[in-house]
Chain A
Amino acid sequence: MSSIAAPADAARRAPKRAIPGFGPTLGFTVFYLSVLVLIPLAGVFFRASGLGLEGLWNVLTGPRVLNALSLSFGAAFIAALINAVFGGVVAWVFVRYEFPGKRLLDAVIDLPFALPTAVAGIALTALYAPNGWIGELLTPLGIKVAYTRLGIIVALTFIGLPFVVRTVEPVLREVERDLEEAAATLGAMRWHTITRVILPAVLPALVTGFALSFARGVGEYGSVIFIAGNFPNVTEIAPLLITIKLDEYDYRGATAIAAAMLVISFVLLLVINLLQAWARRRA
């Protein structure tokens, strides 16, 4: 395409920036982004700063808030770990093996992105309730999932699964099979090849997928509140506590929790970006 010869005078008239529309499009982009996202988000920090450090500290160290925050982060962490393991296996199986129904399952992987969280929430609750399809099997074993912390982990695993699979898959596909052959030729056992050659290559993607899944899980609301049971201090997640504070017109409390969650998500976002830069350097 680049070989189309422009008339000499047009080439001379064409300045460096031949494509029009830079000003309006960038202007609108920045305006829209500022009005809808940046200014409202900054508002949370402005409001939170109005509470003062002591006020913030008092809200955030209240036992109910601490319990909610540690539950949200703890459950999201465990769910992201489960996803890193099983998502890694799923990505491996999809990239390396052929089996019947593969295309269908490949399409279904993205279900948690497409299925509304409230629908996922009531569906998971129906499944894991003591009289549900899975709950029925687990109850005799003494395992309770619905209305316990286990249920929260199940919901967050559902929500976060595609992040790991979709991040690891393309990287795994790029792994040079020559390297594996070389390792095998040099006498490495298959297990050694996998742990020493393949795993290091996909590790950045795996960690990125883990971080994305974790970040999503921390803020998740819709799929959790149905299955959690929402008992204060036990199965009450941080986003739910924000809505409870709002319902009680405790705007200060809601703002303080929101500000804490935003700070932590921004740190996570930074970590994810650094991880991706790391992955690009290694690629």
Chain B
Amino acid sequence: MTDISATAPLDPARLPFEPLMQRNAVISEAPWVRRTLIGVAILFLAGFLLLPLLSVFAAALGKGLGAYFASFNSADTQSAIRLTLIAAGIAVPANLVFGLCAAWAITKFEFRGKQFLITLIDLPFSVSPVVAGLIYILIFGAQGWAGPWFSAHDIKVVFAVPGIVLATIFVTFPFIARELIPLMQELGTDDEQAALSLGASGWQTFWHVTLPNVKWGLLYGVLLCNARAMGEFGAVSVVSGHIRGLTNTMPLHIEILYNDYQFVPAFAVASLLALLALVTLAAKSVLEWRFADQLAATRRH
């Protein structure tokens, strides 16, 4: 320690903490232990994460590019893509508005039961996707409470697009709120208080002070929410009824193609969703590297 403080006493940024620690034999492991652990970690991640990802693209392109692109010519595939875009296009903005409202109420004010409310917002994460679909069947299905009323008014919820949207909203419910709440808690209310005391209205404060402060965290939450919304399978599978060309989303269409032994089309549709996942991960990593300080430190995922 002494020679370090002698060479760079006043510049803490230049203190070479990490290299020092790694040379410090008493608090690091023998090289062979280190190499073994790194090897185990890389093998595990390569085997469990990279290989499945690679196999999606390998199977999709296995019969050549022609077969790959031909997979998207079918009308059912195109309508599945369209429905997925519609469902995510409704679910993500709905949860965005909710997330902003919930984060504003929870982080800018003190009230009793706040912690309980946060737990309730997290609730959909601990519910099985199949159960998430089932709850709407029990309400809107033919045997449900509201089912007869809706069918009397000729409104289809279950086995139709509204049910798919509802199920998608449920499973992606907490994503944006839980990204914003820790972030806005960390930021506190000083900026808003300052804007308000200088005469800004509530809306102006929100648009010009709060929103710019949380924009990267918000984008991050929207990305995760969207990836899950487009990829949701279990919940949507229960409420959709699997009507081809009508209530089939991309993940459900993958299942149908796969069970029909149409492997190239199945993996071709899967590769689109895998690409979406890759784009999401890349954007997420870029956000984390560039704006680490502007994203909440206390995040779980």
Contact = CB atoms under 8 A, between A and B. Distances in A.
A2 B190 contact: yes
Given A33-B121, A40-B139, A92-B37, A111 B129 contact: no
B119 interface: yes
Interface stretch (A16-24, A53-61, A139-147): A16-24
B177 to A, nearest CB: 8
B127 interface: yes
A177 B26 CA distance: 11
Contacts of A1: 190-191, 194
Interface stretch (B4-12, B69-77, B251-259): B251-259
Interface residues of A, number: 106
B270 A180 contact: no
A221 B49 contact: no
A203 interface: no
B242 to A, nearest CB: 10
A172 interface: no
What is the predominant secondary structure among interface residues of chain B facing chain A? helix
A182 to B, nearest CB: 10
B42 interface: yes
A89 B134 contact: no
A10 to B, nearest CB: 5
Contacts of A265: 126-128
Nearest to A86: B44
A234 interface: no
B27 interface: yes
Chain A at the B interface: SS class: helix
Interface string B191-214: 111101110001001100000000
Contact of B197 (A6, A25, A167, A268): A6
Contact of B277 (A115, A167, A193, A220): A115
Interface string A7-42: 100110010011111101110111011001110110
Given A163-B301, A265-B127, A114 B49 contact: no
A195 interface: no
Interface size on B, as a range, is 35 or more
A218 B138 contact: no
Nearest to A185: B26
A144 to B, nearest CB: 17
Contacts of B134: 44, 242, 246, 254-255, 258
A112 interface: yes
Nearest to B128: A219
A36 B48 CA distance: 35
Interface in B108-163: 108-109, 111, 117, 119-124, 126-131, 134-139, 141, 143, 145
B280 A181 contact: no
B183 interface: no
A122 B130 contact: no
B216 interface: no
A266 interface: yes
Nearest to A114: B277
B59 A126 contact: yes
A215 interface: yes
A115 B109 contact: no
B170 A118 contact: no
Contacts of A215: 126
A105 B119 CA distance: 31
Contact of A41 (B28, B135, B280): B135
B98 A29 contact: yes
B227 A114 contact: yes
Interface of A: 1-2, 4, 6-7, 10-11, 14, 17-22, 24-26, 28-30, 32-33, 36-38, 40-41, 43-44, 47, 86, 89-90, 92-94, 96-99, 101, 103, 105-120, 122-124, 126-127, 132-134, 157-158, 161-163, 166-167, 170, 177, 180-181, 184-185, 190, 193, 212, 215, 218-222, 226, 238-240, 242-243, 246, 251, 254-255, 258, 261-262, 265-266, 268-269, 273
29 contacts: A6-B197, A19-B109, A19-B192, A20-B202, A22-B111, A26-B111, A28-B98, A29-B106, A30-B117, A38-B123, A41-B135, A89-B37, A90-B45, A93-B41, A109-B45, A117-B251, A118-B252, A127-B55, A157-B48, A161-B48, A161-B49, A180-B26, A190-B27, A239-B128, A255-B134, A265-B127, A265-B128, A269-B122, A273-B119
Interface of B: 18, 21-22, 24, 26-30, 34, 37-38, 40-42, 44-45, 47-53, 55-56, 59, 97-98, 101-102, 104-106, 108-109, 111, 117, 119-124, 126-131, 134-139, 141, 143, 145, 166, 169-170, 173, 189-194, 196-198, 202, 205-206, 224, 227-228, 230-234, 237-238, 250-252, 254-255, 258, 263, 266-267, 270, 273-274, 276-278, 280-282, 284-285, 297-301
Given A115-B52, A158-B49, A193-B27, 19 more contacts: A2-B190, A19-B192, A28-B98, A29-B101, A29-B106, A40-B138, A41-B123, A86-B41, A97-B34, A108-B53, A112-B49, A115-B273, A117-B231, A117-B234, A118-B231, A158-B48, A180-B26, A222-B234, A268-B126
